[in-house]
Amino acid sequence: MNFALPDELIAFRDLARDFAAREIAPHARKWDAEKWISEDAVRRAGEVGLLGVTAPEGFGGAGQGMLAMTVVVEEIARHCGAFALLIAAHSGLCSGHIKLAGSDEQKRKYLPRLARGELIGSWCLSEPHCGTDAAALTTRAEKSGRGWVLNGQKMWVTNGRRAGVYVVMAKTKPEAGPRTISAFIVEREAKGLEVGEPEDKMGMRGSDTTPLALENVQVGEDALCGALHDGYVDALRVLDRGRVTIGALSVGLARGCLEEAVKYAAERRSFGVPLHAHQAIQMKLADMDTQVEAARLLVRQAAYGFDAGRPDKQAASIAKLFASEMASRVGWDSIQIHGGAGYTKDVCVERLVRDNKLCEIGEGSSEVQRMLIARAEFAKRAAS
């Protein structure tokens, strides 16, 4: 066992930490209010390499694995959950799906531009009437002479407005069962693709979440990403990794809440002593620190499993469940330590807490994670 990050990842961490402090932290409140992360900041993130950490080296990326992803996402989320979510959907889901299932030609065509941030990616699974129960999706792709025609409604599309390319899951043979889903790469310019009004969300507000309408969208044969009817399995594999990334996002948000609380508890005085001299505050800080540490270990453990070729879906679920619920607890405690100040937008904590609520919902709700974890525990014992 070895818990020390390799030097290479420490370099990525420092790059992301520096970028987050300089280019994200000063603007995050504004982005939250305006519901939009500036294009400039996204472009610069691409320039320094933060949008292509996990893209293969041959396709313009840094060729890193999930562990690097968790390290980078934690640093970004420390100051802004929305920016981290943009990266998670862009690199993890969209580029990740193309990397996992795409043809060499598709990789050549999209991955380098995605890695550099010239193109922002999006991934579309959920629909108005199916979230957790993804196999119930109704978007349809039908064979036409020159390729495929897509029809349907997508929802909760992260990066929906700023994306130049979408990986869209659609049914290709519904008569053969709910899981005959395939993935298609659809470009923004495609005729019939309409991006709806962004949702007015509680948190993650700088990240644009939109509905997406597909009306007779014609794509070529070469838009099919991965094997025909096999997209559901690929989507689940992408989601397994995505869960670890969301866990890392929560670790970053919670760390922000903790660091702000530690700082405030040292500066603010009551009854003639700093707040942190009171045991009531010490107990809270200790629990917050313990939970953040445990969550980071679970997240990195799950991430490393993928990198080492031993993916453990239960570990990914555990990491996401624990990290996302822990970050909410840590966030509320941080607001409590800040008192009135924590209830205002002058302190970033209330924003980080709002951001984190998404992590308990997106990419598999806490309820789904618990179902999966329990199922895995029972399976271990039913076999014996």
Partner 1 sequence: MSTIPTTTTDAAADFGWDLGEDHRLLRDSVREFAENEVLNGAGERDVRGEFPREIIRRLSEMGYLGICVPEQYGGAGLDSLAACLVVEELSRADASVGVIVSVQNSLVIDPILRHGSEAQKQRWLPRMARGELLNCFSLSEPNSGSDAGAMLCRATFKGDHWLIHGTKCWVTTGAEADMILLFARSEDAPRRNASAFVIEKSTPGITVGKHEEKMGIRASSTTELIFDNVKVPADALLGERGRGLSIALSAISGGRLGIAAQAIGIAQMALDKAAKYALARKQFGKPIAEFQAIQWKIADMATRLAASRALTYKGAWHKDRGEFKGLRRVGAMAKVFAGETARFCANEAVQVLGGMGYCREEGVERLYRDAKITEIYEGTSEMNRLAIAETLSADPGPLTDV
Give the interface with partner 1 as residue ranges (CB under 8 A): 1-6, 9, 13, 17, 67, 74, 78, 255, 258-259, 262-263, 265-266, 276, 279, 281-283, 285-287, 289-290, 292-298, 300-301, 304, 308, 310, 314-315, 318, 321-322, 369-371, 373-378, 380-382
Report the nearest approach of partner 1 to the CB of residue 15 (Å).
Answer: 14
Residue 32 CA to chain centroid, in angstroms? 17
**Residue number, 86 or 275, with CB nearest to partner 1:** 275
**Residue number, 138 or 336, with CB nearest to partner 1:** 336
**Residue number, 16 or 120, with CB nearest to partner 1:** 16
- SS3 assignment, position 27: coil
Whether residue 175 lies in the annotated active site: no
Report the nearest approach of partner 1 to the CB of residue 172 (Å).
Answer: 32
Instruction: Classify residue 381 by burial, with Cβ atoms within 10 Å: 0-12, 13-18, 19+.
Output: exposed
Let me know: does 381 contact 226? Beta carbons within 8 Å.
Answer: no
Let me know: does 221 contact 146? Beta carbons within 8 Å.
Answer: yes
Report the nearest approach of partner 1 to the CB of residue 361 (Å).
Answer: 17
Amino acid at residue number 52: G
Phi, psi of 321 (to 5 degrees): -60, -50
> What's the CA gap between 301 and 319, in Å, rounded?
8
Of 118, 363, 367, 377, catalytic? 363
Q: Name the pairing type of β-strands 193-195 and 147-158.
A: unpaired
The DSSP output letter for 132 is: S
Report the nearest approach of partner 1 to the CB of residue 191 (Å).
Answer: 45
Report the nearest approach of partner 1 to the CB of residue 84 (Å).
Answer: 15
Report the nearest approach of partner 1 to the CB of residue 20 (Å).
Answer: 10
Q: Is 216 left (phi over 0), alpha (psi -120 to 50) or beta?
A: left
Sign of CA dihedral 32, 36, 39, 45: positive
Q: Is 152 left (phi over 0), alpha (psi -120 to 50) or beta?
A: left
**Residue number, 191 or 310, with CB nearest to partner 1:** 310
Residue 303's nearest CA partner among 289, 313, 290 is: 313
Helices (H), 25-172: 28-34, 39-48, 66-77, 81-87, 96-101, 104-116
The residues, any chain, with a CB within 8 Å of residue 4's CB and separated by 6 or more, are: none
**Residue number, 299 or 335, with CB nearest to partner 1:** 299
Report the nearest approach of partner 1 to the CB of residue 157 (Å).
Answer: 29
**Residue number, 8 or 40, with CB nearest to partner 1:** 8
**Residue number, 191 or 381, with CB nearest to partner 1:** 381
Catalytic sites, residue numbers: 363
